[in-house]
């Protein structure tokens, strides 16, 4: 996300790549690695969309082209996790175990809001050695309305209408603010921009449009990439078809 | 307590501090590195809060805050809530690491509720502040960052306490907390009187936060305003900070214009023979 933090990540820091770095450099073991990835979620009137790219990288290497970052939790909730892949896997395992425990004790599935609150306490329990994961939960609340909850790595969270997280979040969030945040009330929603946006920011990786409630019929693709450049009026709607 | 002894039941809060916070018992810490250094150098950037202020006056306590939540130089959320209600007569303004503030406030809410049930009345603001600072001082040196002002109305009237995560606890009439606090203090100190009216207090709080958001990079978004009265807390308004600041800038021009109009309608008395 921010280039200043890239220097101290991972044991893959290679002095050969930086022959002219100024001054002595301390190399130490880092328990984290940054595996990249971007996630986003949008809440609609009676639906939610959670989307992610599928690239798993480390430094300049790509580990996988097919590693989606959305995980289904219940019939009504999906979580997107990006950051350090090891922590993403462990965190989702813990969440799934807690969901099962809740289901067995309470005889019902956890609601989206309850999962968000639980995730906040799970993340905070590691306040001094955090899970290096940026989470966004998308789903339906008890009234059937779309709900999106975004988290920071130690559990601070709140409910939003839309949120982007991960390495390209600084690129996606302003476009979401412009398209979704400034949309006049009553205008037709443009939710599948999510897939189009992601296919632009990570060229070569597929955008996996995951878990739209209810399921979509045609799969939308961004057909005209130069549409972005031609946009002069910042409030104009761009039609993705 | 007697009933506890008879039933041989241990109240959870007399055990290890906040056991519900860590399921495994004990906090996970990285090996080979002390936690604050680890978090500073290798940890993820956390969401920080920014300009909040609170002051007490004759008609209660005013709490105001901006709504920008930033992670280094990225605005993670432009519309976050930094004033957290604890119970009907107590609010806390939060600044520092958002996750720490929300979690410790949840713990405080739980503790106060338990004490109210046990003792039959809600603890005073002073004791709530003492509780919070005592809980957090056990984690001193571990890079918790919670800087908060507890604003409430209890049996002694309006009360305001500043609590910091190293255990600091101060009583006062005016507090501003966060990166934008110097700017807010300048405006607050100029306009504060204990005997203000409620509308004057609202205007002062909005003005102070608007000026702070104008100058501080980490403050912005909107201005939230809360008022704690004898009957409980009330959410007064949320105004966009930029709009508020532009209106404040227009005020001198409006005053000048009014003076001009006034002097035109009632001109300086000239020679009596002059007529329109």
What pLDDT, in 10s, does the model give residues A63-95? Answer: 999 999 999 999 999 999 999 999 999 999 999
Q: Flag residues of chain B having pLDDT under 50.
A: 14-25, 274-276
What does the pLDDT look like over A26-37, one tens digit per residue?
777 888 999 999
Instruction: With respect to residue A199, please indicate whether it lies within any of the assigned structural domains.
Output: yes
A235 domain-assigned: no
Q: Is B81 on the interface with A (CB under 8 A)?
A: yes
pLDDT digits (tens, 9 = 90+) for B232-269: 999 999 999 999 999 888 877 777 777 787 777 666 55
For B168, residues 6+ apart whose C-beta sits below 8 A from its C-beta are B133, B162
Specify the pLDDT at position B204: 95
pLDDT surpassing 50 at residue A219 = no
Is residue B203 situated within a structural domain?
Answer: yes
H-helix or E-strand spanning residue B83: strand B83-87
Within a domain: A69: yes
Separation CA B98–CA B223 (nearest Å): 17
In chain B, the number of structural domains is 1
Strand intervals (E) in chain A: 38-43, 48-53, 56-58, 61-64, 70-74, 77-83, 133-140, 146-151, 157-160, 162-166, 207-213
Contact B21/A125, CB-based, under 8 Å? yes
Does the residue B109 lie in any domain? Answer: yes
Burial of B167 (0-12, 13-18, 19+ CB in 10 A): middle
The answer as to whether A28 is a domain residue is no
Q: Which of B50, B52, B67, B94 is catalytic?
A: B50
The domain tally of chain A equals 1
* In A75-217, beta strands by DSSP E: 77-83, 133-140, 146-151, 157-160, 162-166, 207-213
We report the CATH number of the domain holding residue B136 as: 3.60.20.10
* Active-site annotation holds for B97: no
Per-residue pLDDT at B70: 85
Show Cβ contacts of residue B38 under 8 Å, excluding neighbours closer than 6 positions: A128, A129, B30
Q: Domain span at residue B236?
A: 52-251
Residue A234 pLDDT class (50, 70, 90 cuts): very low
Any domain includes B46? no
Q: Looking at the domain assignment, is residue B21 inside a domain?
A: no
- Is residue A179, in this structure, part of any structural domain at all? yes
Structure tokens at A3: 């280039």
pLDDT at A164 over 60: yes
Q: B74 and A1 in contact by Cβ < 8 A?
A: yes
pLDDT at res. A201: 44
| Residue B56 belongs to a domain | yes
Quote the domain boundaries for residue A187: 38-209
CA distance B220 to chain A (A): 16
Judge whether A93 lies within some domain. Answer: yes
Residue A96 sits in a domain of what CATH number? 3.60.20.10
- Tell me the chain A residues in contact with residue B30 when contact means C-beta distances shorter than 8 Å: 31, 128-129
ipTM value for the complex: 0.74
Q: Which of A121, A152, A159, A165 to mutate to test the interface with B (most CBs of B within 10 A)?
A: A152
């Amino acid at each position: 996300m921010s280039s200043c933090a890239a220097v101290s990540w991972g044991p893959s820091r290679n002095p050969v790549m930086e022959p002219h770095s100024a001054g002595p450099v301390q190399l130490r073991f880092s328990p984290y690695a940054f595996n990249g990835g971007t996630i986003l979620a949008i809440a609609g009137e009676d639906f939610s969309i959670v989307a992610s790219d599928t690239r798993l990288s480390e430094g300049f290497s790509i580990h996988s082209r097919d590693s989606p970052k959305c995980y289904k939790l219940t019939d009504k909730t999906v979580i997107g996790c990006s950051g350090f892949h090891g922590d993403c896997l462990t965190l989702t395992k813990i969440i799934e175990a807690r969901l099962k425990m809740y289901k067995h004790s309470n005889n019902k599935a956890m609601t989206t809001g309850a999962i968000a609150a639980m995730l906040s306490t799970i993340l905070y329990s590691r306040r001094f050695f955090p899970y290096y994961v940026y989470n966004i939960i998308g789903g339906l609340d008890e009234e059937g309305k779309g709900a999106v909850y975004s988290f920071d790595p130690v559990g601070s969270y709140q409910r939003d209408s839309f949120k982007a997280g991960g390495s390209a979040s600084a690129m996606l969030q302003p476009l979401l603010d412009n398209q979704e945040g400034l949309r006049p009330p009553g205008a037709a929603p443009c939710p599948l921009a999510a897939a189009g946006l992601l296919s632009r920011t990570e060229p070569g990786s597929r955008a996996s449009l995951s878990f739209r409630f209810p399921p979509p019929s045609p799969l939308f693709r961004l057909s005209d990439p130069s549409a972005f450049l031609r946009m002069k009026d910042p409030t104009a709607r761009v039609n993705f078809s | 307590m007697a009933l506890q002894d008879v039933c041989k039941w241990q109240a959870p809060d007399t055990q290890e501090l906040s056991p519900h916070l860590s399921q495994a018992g004990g906090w996970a810490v990285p090996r080979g590195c002390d936690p604050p250094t680890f978090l500073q150098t290798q940890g993820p950037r956390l969401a920080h809060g920014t300009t909040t202020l609170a002051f007490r006056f004759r008609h209660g306590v005013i709490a105001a805050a901006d709504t920008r939540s930033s992670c280094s130089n990225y605005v993670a959320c432009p519309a976050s809530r930094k004033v957290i209600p604890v119970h009907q007569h107590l609010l806390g303004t939060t600044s520092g690491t958002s996750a720490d503030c929300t979690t410790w406030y949840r713990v405080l809410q739980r503790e106060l509720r338990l004490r109210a049930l046990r003792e039959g009345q809600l603890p005073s603001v002073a004791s709530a502040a003492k509780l919070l600072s005592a809980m957090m001082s056990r984690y001193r040196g571990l890079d918790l960052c919670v800087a908060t002002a507890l604003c409430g109305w209890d049996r002694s009237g309006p009360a305001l306490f500043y609590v910091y995560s190293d255990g600091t606890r101060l009583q006062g009439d005016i507090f501003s907390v966060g990166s934008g606090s110097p700017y807010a203090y300048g405006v607050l100190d100029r306009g504060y009187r204990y005997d203000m009216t409620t509308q004057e207090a609202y205007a002062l709080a909005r003005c102070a936060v608007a000026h702070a958001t104008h100058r501080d990079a980490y403050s912005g978004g909107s201005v939230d305003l809360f008022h704690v009265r004898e009957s409980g807390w009330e959410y007064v308004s949320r105004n966009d900070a930029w709009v508020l600041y532009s209106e404040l800038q227009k005020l001198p021009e409006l005053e000048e214009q009014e003076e001009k109009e006034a002097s035109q309608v009632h001109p300086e008395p000239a020679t009596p023979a002059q007529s329109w």
